[in-house]
Structure 1
Amino acid sequence: MAMSVLIVDDHTPFRTFAHSLLEAEGIEVAGEAADGEAALEAADTLHPDVVLLDINLPTVDGFEVARRLAGSGGPKVVLTSSRPASDYGAMLDEAPVVGFLPKQELSGPALLRLVS
């Protein structure tokens, strides 16, 4: 499945790592954003198929970004964090996303499983 991904994370090293990893595994990276507001702008401009979205972001957190993207009929959203899913509890269960992928488990196949 060919798809484009917008990577959203406030840590440049993670964005760089994710970008390189996903492209090496045949996934097109449409762009990157460092905070919630930039993520919303980039999603509106780039029209990615998927947004890989860090939960803990400056300006607007990942849960709010996911809600706004869902309300616009936007891309599929996969939340990510260095913290385990259990730290987010019901907030994660209620988020309008296709799944959660811990940062340490990021791979092209893992992302594809969540969005397919």
Structure 2
Amino acid sequence: MIRVVVADDQALIRTGFITILDSQDDLEVVGEAGDGKSAVEVAQRLRPDVIVMDVRMPVMDGIEATRRLAGAGVPDPLKVLVVTTFNLDEYVYEALRAGAAGFLLKDASPQQLIAGVRTVARGESLLAPEVTRRLIGRYAARLRPADPAVTAESALTPRELEVLRLIAAGQSNAEIAATLVIGAETVKTYVSRILTKLNLRDRVQAVVYAYRTGLVSPND
């Protein structure tokens, strides 16, 4: 059973999410919150498998709540799935930097929400390729480049660098496999090696890393 906490300041949306998720035999909503501060308190107390987190909420926004639950330095971080709308997309990049495992748009279908929660619960990241290209590249350009302890150029092979650039471009594993004319399992192996070598938690952090370090830019 996947235990879920839903955080959204709009009661109608929160109730809708809860109804959708509770309709599944393998999902159980164990808590809810109407603001970011309450979301942190509920999640820390209940330790759910996934927190479905809105971005704009009173008292504390979803970005800060995500940072407190899943950010760098948090012991035993929780998995956060951020929900947003395109007119709030400038916040998405910050949410991913804060440690979110991925994000969905609020106009996603019930099936996409259910699949997203299951994906994040498995420990995988959720980045829809079509919105990755539109959001991450646009707002990553506003940030100062990072100076990582380990650079991709020194740690990765040429092929791994190529895969990392395609991940940052928003390509799924299947698209990368088609682009490079290699098998999907081979792509999974490359992704795993990249995360290990760069000490990254998941695919989301790989995208952020690529933009923050200047390996790719929105103009690429």
TM above 0.5, yes or no, is: yes
Greater CA radius of gyration, 1 or 2? 2
**In the alignment, structure 1 residue 36 sits paired with structure 2 residue 36:** yes
Alpha-carbon distance in structure 1 between the residues aligned to 2:65 and 2:40: 7
Q: Give 1:72 shift.
A: 4.0
Tell me if structure 2 keeps the 8 A contact 1:85–1:102. Answer: no
Q: Give 1:85 shift.
A: 7.0
What are the within-5 Å matches in structure 2 for residues 77-92 of structure 1? Answer: 77-83=80-86, 86-88=89-91, 90-92=93-95
Q: Give 1:45 shift.
A: 1.6
Please tell me the root mean square deviation across aligned C-alpha atoms, in Å: 1.9
Higher strand share: 1
What corresponds to 1:18 in structure 2? 17
Tell me if structure 2 keeps the 8 A contact 1:56–1:62. Answer: yes
Give CA deviations for 1:73-110 in whole Å, capped at 9, x if unaligned.
23200111233674336324423011001122152123
Gaps of 5+ in 2: 123-220
- The AA in structure 1 aligned to 2:105 is P
Q: Give 1:25 shift.
A: 2.1
Tell me if structure 1 keeps the 8 A contact 2:49–2:121. Answer: no
Aligned length: 115
For residues 29 and 89 of structure 1, do their structure 2 counterparts lie closer, same or farther at Cα, with a shift above 3 Å needed? closer
Tell me if structure 1 keeps the 8 A contact 2:85–2:105. Answer: yes
Identity, in percent, stands at 32
Q: Which one has more relative contact order, counting CA pairs under 8 Å at least 6 apart?
A: 1
For residues 110 and 85 of structure 1, do their structure 2 counterparts lie closer, same or farther at Cα, with a shift above 3 Å needed? farther
- The AA in structure 2 aligned to 1:62 is G
**In the alignment, structure 1 residue 98 sits paired with structure 2 residue 104:** no
Higher helix share: 2
What corresponds to 2:7 in structure 1? 8
Q: Give 1:57 shift.
A: 0.8
**In the alignment, structure 1 residue 114 sits paired with structure 2 residue 138:** no
Relative to the length of structure 1, the TM-score reads 0.87
Gaps of 5+ in 1: none
For residues 89 and 103 of structure 1, do their structure 2 counterparts lie closer, same or farther at Cα, with a shift above 3 Å needed? closer
Relative to the length of structure 2, the TM-score reads 0.48
